[in-house]
Amino acid sequence: MNNKNENPELEQKRLSLEKQIAIGIWIQVIGATIEFLGIAKLRGISENPDSIPEKEVLSGAGIQAIGTLFEAIGVTGQITEIDNTLKLDAQKLAIAGDWLQSIGAALEATGGTGEFLEEQEQANLFVP
C-alpha cells in the first residue's frame, strides 16, 4: 500500500491500519504454529502414524505455518522499511507467504479428505 498522501492525518490513519493488519498476521503465525505442533503431537500417538493422509495433513499445516511467518515478516517489512527496493522485497516475501499458505491448505485438505475416506471405509458406512 504505497498510497502516500499529502494529508498527514490520512497518512497516520493508513499507517495505523497497516500496523493492525501486521499484528493480526503475527497472531495468525502463533495460531498456525500451535496447530502444527498439536497435529504433530497427535500424529505421535496415532494408531497409524505412517498413514499418507496423516502425513499430508501434518505437512500441509507445517507449510501453512511457514507461509504465515513469511507473510508476517513481509508485511512488517513493508511498514518498517524506508528504502523502496526493500519494501518491494518485503512485498514479494509476503506474496510468497500467501502462496505457501495456499499450497499448505490444499495439501492439508487433501490429507483430511484421505483421512475421512479411510475412516469411512473402516466404519463400513453407507453413503448413497
Assess if residue 97 is contained within a domain: yes
Distance CA 8, CA 26 (A): 27
pLDDT at 61: 98
pTM: 0.86
Domain count, the chain: 1
Confidence (pLDDT) at 125: 63
Residues of the chain predicted below pLDDT 50: 1
Any domain includes 43: yes
Tell whether 2 is covered by a domain: no
Domain contains 124? no
Residue 51, exposed/middle/buried by CB under 10 A (0-12, 13-18, 19+)? middle
pLDDT of residue 94: 98
